[in-house]
Structure 1
Amino acid sequence: MNQENSVIIVPENPEGETIRVPVLKIFDGDGFLTRIKASELTGSPSDQSELQVAVRFAFIDAPELEQPGGREAKEFLATLIGDRWVELEVRMKMDTGQIVDRHKRIVGVPFLTQDYSVAQFRTSSNHLHNAMTFRGPLLVTRNIELEMVLNGWAWVLERYGPDERYLEALDDAQRHKRGIWAALGNYIPPWEFKQQKHREKRLADKTGTRCPMEGCGGDLVKRIGKFGAFFGCSTFPACKYSCSAAI
């Protein structure tokens, strides 16, 4: 696929305030590393130090790198915003009450503004028009989340209440077989894939030793805590038994 020639853009302006941040490194199809002033996080204008933090997209979930299409999704995002500056519309996380999630990542929707000297668009009657500017570029702001979905490189996280347009974009990508939907197959959503890997890891970490608590029936599972490795019951939090890893 020639990504440069097949990108469907989604012109849209942010609804709320944004912060302008550089894209330093693309992690995957829904996250990147940026640099931000500490005052943006703390609300203290006097703190002008800068921090490098991870940004997690608010309403979409791209395939994990180990999944089919995962690395292609990362590459596609890199063609959109790699080494550029974006306007980030920061979202409050309901589970933390802050602009960072439980992994200390900023959660937001990235927007990219680009200039076009020539642009093409179709009218509702499907007539193709060319737009040209003579006294400066045509500035177009684009919703990068919607572009990842519409081009077939991300799922929509419905549990976070995205706008209906996200679901329409997902349906359009699936019907036209773009991105990961181009190949036949029963794709597992990234959140289910992560749960499956977590279950496999827990099974691999089992000691083969039953929890000694009377009436429990769980197994001892290796875990990593604040003070290093230990074994805890697989039924936690129902059973809170734990012991040293040296058993």
Structure 2
Amino acid sequence: MSFLSRAALVLCLLTSTPTLAEELRGRVVAIADGDTLTLLVDRRQVKVRLAEIDTPEARQPWGTRARQALGALAARQDARVVVMDVDRYGRTVGRVYVNGVDVNAELVRGGHAWVYRQYLRDRSLLPLEAEARAARCGLWSLPERDQVPPWAWRRQQRQN
């Protein structure tokens, strides 16, 4: 792809994605994995990556359960997304709220997600992760060898 084609693609993505500090409201119509969902906003589908957390990948231990946990919290529900960023894949990155519940925090509290320290803004997520670990909730109940953070697991997969 030429530089001009790439520039046009980036411009297209930037003009079709929400602006920062924006809020989106819509219905959750799909759950891709434990930290990605699709929100229907005014007949437009918006892919949303949950900010500040990272859940196990589908082929990782607990990956399917993390996806199920997000589905139980958000599938077919009306949601509000506080937009924080747009990632390199053009996904909206934000905090998701369903019925006033912070879905991102609930996934951490239930042991379905790590706090993604590289992108952390809300330090109140850290004690939630520590409490889930101490109580051996969710993925923290797995043998220690299976408690591989998703970012480390993805790096291993690229190296293999």
Q: TM-score, normalised by structure 2?
A: 0.82
The residue identity in structure 2 corresponding to 1:155 is W
Is 2:31 the counterpart of 1:70?
no
Task: Summarize deviations over 1:143-176 as a string: whole Å, max 9, x none.
Answer: 1100000100000111213322111000000000
Match for residue 191 of structure 1 among 145, 151, 156: 151
For residues 78 and 105 of structure 1, the distance between their equivalents in structure 2, rounded to whole angstroms, comes to 18
Is 2:105 the counterpart of 1:146?
yes
The structure 1 segments of at least 4 consecutive aligned residues displaced by more than 4 Å after TM superposition are none
Residue in 2 that maps onto 1:173 = 132
Higher relative contact order (CA 8 A, sep 6+): 2
Task: Summarize deviations over 1:71-113 as a string: whole Å, max 9, x none.
Answer: 0110111111111111100003xxxxxxx21101011100111
Displacement after TM superposition at 1:182 (Å): 1.4
Residue in 2 that maps onto 1:86 = 79
The residue identity in structure 2 corresponding to 1:190 is P
Higher Cα Rg: structure 1 or 2? 1
Displacement after TM superposition at 1:51 (Å): 2.8
Displacement after TM superposition at 1:190 (Å): 0.3
Task: Summarize deviations over 1:169-204 as a string: whole Å, max 9, x none.
Answer: 00000000000111222311001111111111xxxx
Q: What count of residue pairs does the alignment treat as equivalent?
A: 139
Q: TM-score, normalised by structure 1?
A: 0.54
Please, what is the CA RMSD of the aligned residues? 1.4
For residues 135 and 53 of structure 2, the distance between their equivalents in structure 1, rounded to whole angstroms, comes to 19
Higher strand share: 1
Higher helix share: 2
Residue in 1 that maps onto 2:24 = 19
Structure 1 portions without partners, runs of 5+: 1-15, 38-49, 93-99, 114-140, 201-247
Structure 2 portions without partners, runs of 5+: 1-20
The residue identity in structure 2 corresponding to 1:108 is G
